[in-house]
A and B are shown apart, each in its own frame.
Chain A
Protein backbone atom coordinates (compact mmCIF):
# COMPACT_ATOMS: atom_id res chain seq x y z
CA UNK A 1 0.00 0.00 0.00
CA UNK A 2 1.85 3.10 -1.27
CA UNK A 3 -0.46 5.74 0.26
CA UNK A 4 0.08 9.12 -1.42
CA UNK A 5 2.63 9.27 -4.20
CA UNK A 6 3.98 12.50 -5.64
CA UNK A 7 6.06 12.97 -8.74
CA UNK A 8 8.58 14.36 -9.32
CA UNK A 9 10.48 14.58 -6.02
CA UNK A 10 12.73 17.39 -7.26
CA UNK A 11 12.40 19.91 -10.06
CA UNK A 12 14.23 23.02 -11.25
CA UNK A 13 12.38 25.35 -13.58
CA UNK A 14 13.29 28.54 -15.33
CA UNK A 15 11.07 31.55 -14.85
CA UNK A 16 8.13 31.35 -17.24
CA UNK A 17 8.26 27.60 -17.75
CA UNK A 18 5.26 25.45 -17.00
CA UNK A 19 4.97 22.11 -15.29
CA UNK A 20 2.50 19.76 -13.67
CA UNK A 21 2.98 18.11 -10.31
CA UNK A 22 1.32 14.72 -10.11
CA UNK A 23 -0.32 13.15 -7.09
CA UNK A 24 -2.01 9.79 -6.72
CA UNK A 25 -3.51 8.01 -3.72
CA UNK A 26 -4.48 4.37 -3.44
CA UNK A 27 -6.63 4.60 -0.29
CA UNK A 28 -9.93 5.33 -2.06
CA UNK A 29 -10.13 8.71 -0.32
CA UNK A 30 -12.65 11.30 -1.39
CA UNK A 31 -10.75 14.47 -0.53
CA UNK A 32 -7.38 15.57 -1.86
CA UNK A 33 -5.26 18.65 -1.21
CA UNK A 34 -2.27 20.60 -2.44
CA UNK A 35 -0.12 22.59 -0.02
CA UNK A 36 3.04 24.59 -0.28
CA UNK A 37 5.57 25.01 2.49
CA UNK A 38 8.21 27.72 2.38
CA UNK A 39 11.36 27.43 4.53
CA UNK A 40 10.59 27.76 8.23
CA UNK A 41 6.90 28.24 7.56
CA UNK A 42 3.75 26.23 8.06
CA UNK A 43 1.74 24.66 5.27
CA UNK A 44 -0.51 26.85 3.18
CA UNK A 45 -3.41 25.35 1.28
CA UNK A 46 -3.35 26.04 -2.46
CA UNK A 47 -6.35 24.05 -3.70
CA UNK A 48 -8.42 21.18 -2.48
CA UNK A 49 -10.92 18.75 -3.91
CA UNK A 50 -13.69 17.58 -1.61
CA UNK A 51 -14.69 14.81 -4.01
CA UNK A 52 -14.16 13.65 -7.54
CA UNK A 53 -15.32 16.34 -9.95
CA UNK A 54 -15.02 19.27 -7.56
CA UNK A 55 -12.17 21.65 -6.78
CA UNK A 56 -11.98 24.75 -4.60
CA UNK A 57 -9.44 27.45 -3.88
CA UNK A 58 -7.46 27.48 -0.68
CA UNK A 59 -5.43 30.28 0.88
CA UNK A 60 -2.91 30.85 -1.93
CA UNK A 61 -4.38 29.74 -5.30
CA UNK A 62 -2.93 32.48 -7.53
CA UNK A 63 -0.55 31.17 -10.18
CA UNK A 64 -1.83 27.59 -9.92
CA UNK A 65 -4.46 25.40 -11.50
CA UNK A 66 -5.61 21.94 -10.50
CA UNK A 67 -7.34 18.97 -12.05
CA UNK A 68 -9.08 16.16 -10.23
CA UNK A 69 -8.56 13.65 -12.98
CA UNK A 70 -10.38 10.83 -11.17
CA UNK A 71 -10.80 9.70 -7.61
CA UNK A 72 -7.14 8.67 -7.35
CA UNK A 73 -5.35 11.56 -9.02
CA UNK A 74 -5.10 15.28 -8.30
CA UNK A 75 -2.61 17.34 -10.29
CA UNK A 76 -1.24 20.83 -9.72
CA UNK A 77 -0.15 22.96 -12.66
CA UNK A 78 2.08 26.00 -12.75
CA UNK A 79 1.40 27.75 -16.06
CA UNK A 80 4.20 30.30 -15.85
CA UNK A 81 6.58 29.61 -12.99
CA UNK A 82 7.92 32.49 -10.90
CA UNK A 83 10.75 32.54 -8.33
CA UNK A 84 8.12 33.19 -5.63
CA UNK A 85 6.79 29.70 -6.32
CA UNK A 86 10.01 28.12 -5.12
CA UNK A 87 8.78 25.89 -2.31
CA UNK A 88 8.11 22.34 -1.20
CA UNK A 89 4.74 21.11 -2.42
CA UNK A 90 2.78 18.48 -0.53
CA UNK A 91 -0.20 16.53 -1.70
CA UNK A 92 -2.57 14.94 0.81
CA UNK A 93 -5.76 12.92 0.92
CA UNK A 94 -8.40 12.23 3.54
CA UNK A 95 -11.47 10.09 3.96
CA UNK A 96 -14.91 11.60 4.24
CA UNK A 97 -16.09 8.61 6.24
CA UNK A 98 -13.93 9.79 9.12
CA UNK A 99 -16.23 11.87 11.36
CA UNK A 100 -13.99 14.89 11.21
CA UNK A 101 -12.37 14.25 7.86
CA UNK A 102 -9.17 15.65 9.29
CA UNK A 103 -7.04 12.53 9.37
CA UNK A 104 -5.06 13.22 6.26
CA UNK A 105 -2.20 11.32 4.68
CA UNK A 106 0.61 13.23 3.03
CA UNK A 107 3.01 12.50 0.24
CA UNK A 108 6.76 12.99 0.57
CA UNK A 109 6.72 16.31 -1.18
CA UNK A 110 8.11 17.88 -4.35
CA UNK A 111 10.97 20.33 -3.97
CA UNK A 112 10.56 22.95 -6.66
CA UNK A 113 13.12 25.63 -7.43
CA UNK A 114 12.36 28.38 -9.92
CA UNK A 115 15.41 30.29 -11.16
Chain B
Protein backbone atom coordinates (compact mmCIF):
# COMPACT_ATOMS: atom_id res chain seq x y z
CA UNK B 1 0.00 0.00 0.00
CA UNK B 2 1.18 3.50 -0.75
CA UNK B 3 2.61 5.41 2.21
CA UNK B 4 1.04 8.77 2.98
CA UNK B 5 2.47 11.89 4.60
CA UNK B 6 0.31 14.63 6.14
CA UNK B 7 0.97 17.61 8.40
CA UNK B 8 0.67 16.67 12.06
CA UNK B 9 -1.54 19.63 12.92
CA UNK B 10 -3.27 22.70 11.51
CA UNK B 11 -5.05 25.64 13.11
CA UNK B 12 -7.84 27.69 11.60
CA UNK B 13 -10.67 30.06 12.49
CA UNK B 14 -14.36 29.72 11.98
CA UNK B 15 -15.53 30.66 8.51
CA UNK B 16 -12.19 30.05 6.83
CA UNK B 17 -11.45 27.48 4.15
CA UNK B 18 -9.04 24.78 5.24
CA UNK B 19 -6.87 22.78 2.87
CA UNK B 20 -5.06 19.68 4.10
CA UNK B 21 -2.54 18.17 1.72
CA UNK B 22 -1.50 14.53 1.68
CA UNK B 23 1.58 13.26 -0.12
CA UNK B 24 1.54 9.76 -1.64
CA UNK B 25 4.47 9.56 -4.01
CA UNK B 26 4.28 5.82 -4.69
CA UNK B 27 0.57 5.63 -5.42
CA UNK B 28 -0.28 2.76 -7.74
CA UNK B 29 -2.43 2.86 -10.85
CA UNK B 30 -5.41 1.17 -9.20
CA UNK B 31 -5.23 3.08 -5.93
CA UNK B 32 -8.03 5.37 -4.78
CA UNK B 33 -7.58 8.22 -2.29
CA UNK B 34 -9.91 8.33 0.67
CA UNK B 35 -10.23 10.75 3.58
CA UNK B 36 -11.67 10.04 6.99
CA UNK B 37 -12.58 12.27 9.92
CA UNK B 38 -12.31 11.25 13.55
CA UNK B 39 -13.75 13.04 16.57
CA UNK B 40 -12.51 12.26 20.08
CA UNK B 41 -13.88 8.99 21.49
CA UNK B 42 -15.43 8.01 18.16
CA UNK B 43 -14.48 5.78 15.27
CA UNK B 44 -13.35 7.38 12.00
CA UNK B 45 -16.01 8.47 9.55
CA UNK B 46 -15.70 8.43 5.77
CA UNK B 47 -15.63 11.93 4.22
CA UNK B 48 -14.73 11.68 0.57
CA UNK B 49 -13.02 9.51 -1.99
CA UNK B 50 -11.54 10.10 -5.43
CA UNK B 51 -9.31 8.75 -8.16
CA UNK B 52 -8.33 11.83 -10.18
CA UNK B 53 -9.18 15.52 -10.79
CA UNK B 54 -11.82 16.88 -8.43
CA UNK B 55 -14.55 15.35 -6.35
CA UNK B 56 -17.08 17.34 -4.35
CA UNK B 57 -19.79 16.32 -1.93
CA UNK B 58 -21.86 18.11 0.68
CA UNK B 59 -19.02 18.04 3.19
CA UNK B 60 -15.77 18.62 1.32
CA UNK B 61 -13.87 18.73 -1.94
CA UNK B 62 -10.95 16.58 -2.94
CA UNK B 63 -8.40 17.85 -5.43
CA UNK B 64 -6.07 15.39 -7.12
CA UNK B 65 -3.45 16.60 -9.62
CA UNK B 66 -2.71 14.74 -12.82
CA UNK B 67 0.30 12.88 -11.41
CA UNK B 68 -1.79 11.75 -8.38
CA UNK B 69 1.25 11.98 -6.10
CA UNK B 70 -0.62 14.21 -3.70
CA UNK B 71 -4.17 15.19 -2.85
CA UNK B 72 -5.80 18.08 -1.03
CA UNK B 73 -8.85 17.88 1.15
CA UNK B 74 -10.69 21.20 1.17
CA UNK B 75 -13.17 22.07 3.91
CA UNK B 76 -15.15 25.21 3.08
CA UNK B 77 -16.05 27.65 5.85
CA UNK B 78 -15.06 25.51 8.80
CA UNK B 79 -16.81 25.69 12.14
CA UNK B 80 -15.82 24.67 15.66
CA UNK B 81 -17.44 21.29 15.03
CA UNK B 82 -14.89 20.53 12.31
CA UNK B 83 -12.19 20.22 14.96
CA UNK B 84 -11.06 16.63 14.48
CA UNK B 85 -8.29 14.41 13.14
CA UNK B 86 -8.29 13.91 9.38
CA UNK B 87 -6.73 10.82 7.81
CA UNK B 88 -5.67 10.31 4.23
CA UNK B 89 -5.63 6.72 2.96
CA UNK B 90 -4.48 5.31 -0.35
CA UNK B 91 -5.36 1.81 -1.38
CA UNK B 92 -6.99 -0.58 -3.75
CA UNK B 93 -9.30 -3.49 -3.17
CA UNK B 94 -9.45 -5.02 -6.60
CA UNK B 95 -5.93 -6.44 -6.70
CA UNK B 96 -6.19 -7.80 -3.18
CA UNK B 97 -9.43 -9.59 -3.91
CA UNK B 98 -11.60 -7.20 -1.98
CA UNK B 99 -9.72 -7.05 1.27
CA UNK B 100 -8.05 -3.70 1.49
CA UNK B 101 -5.83 -3.39 4.53
CA UNK B 102 -7.01 0.15 5.24
CA UNK B 103 -3.78 1.33 6.81
CA UNK B 104 -4.15 4.61 8.66
CA UNK B 105 -1.31 7.02 9.32
CA UNK B 106 -1.17 9.46 12.21
CA UNK B 107 -3.49 11.95 10.53
CA UNK B 108 -3.76 15.75 10.78
CA UNK B 109 -5.21 17.31 13.90
CA UNK B 110 -7.31 20.28 12.80
CA UNK B 111 -8.19 22.80 15.47
CA UNK B 112 -10.79 25.42 14.65
CA UNK B 113 -11.12 28.46 16.90
CA UNK B 114 -13.50 31.38 17.13
Contact = CB atoms under 8 A, between A and B. Distances in A.
Given A90-B43, A98-B93, A100-B93, A42 B99 contact: no
A78 interface: no
Interface in B31-72: 31-32, 34, 36, 41-46, 49, 51
Contacts of A4: 43
A42 B43 CA distance: 11
Contacts of A31: 93, 98-100
Contacts, number: 99
Given A54-B99, A102-B100, A109 B89 contact: no
Most B CB atoms within 10 A — which of A42, A45, A94, A105? Answer: A42
Contacts of A35: 104
A74 to B, nearest CB: 12
Interface string B74-107: 0000000000010101011110111111111111
Given A48-B101, A101-B92, A41 B106 contact: yes
A80 B36 CA distance: 33
Nearest to B100: A101
B34 to A, nearest CB: 4
A48 B42 contact: no
A61 interface: no
Interface in A26-74: 30-31, 33, 35, 41-45, 48-51, 54, 56, 58-59
Contacts of A54: 99
**Max chain B Cβ within 10 angstroms of own Cβ: one of A41, A54, A103:** A103
Contact of A50 (B34, B49, B89, B98): B98
Nearest to B105: A42
Given A96-B93, A109-B43, A101 B99 contact: yes
Contacts of B106: 41-42
B93 A43 contact: no
Interface string A76-107: 00000000000010101010101111111111
Interface of A: 4, 30-31, 33, 35, 41-45, 48-51, 54, 56, 58-59, 88, 90, 92, 94, 96, 98-109
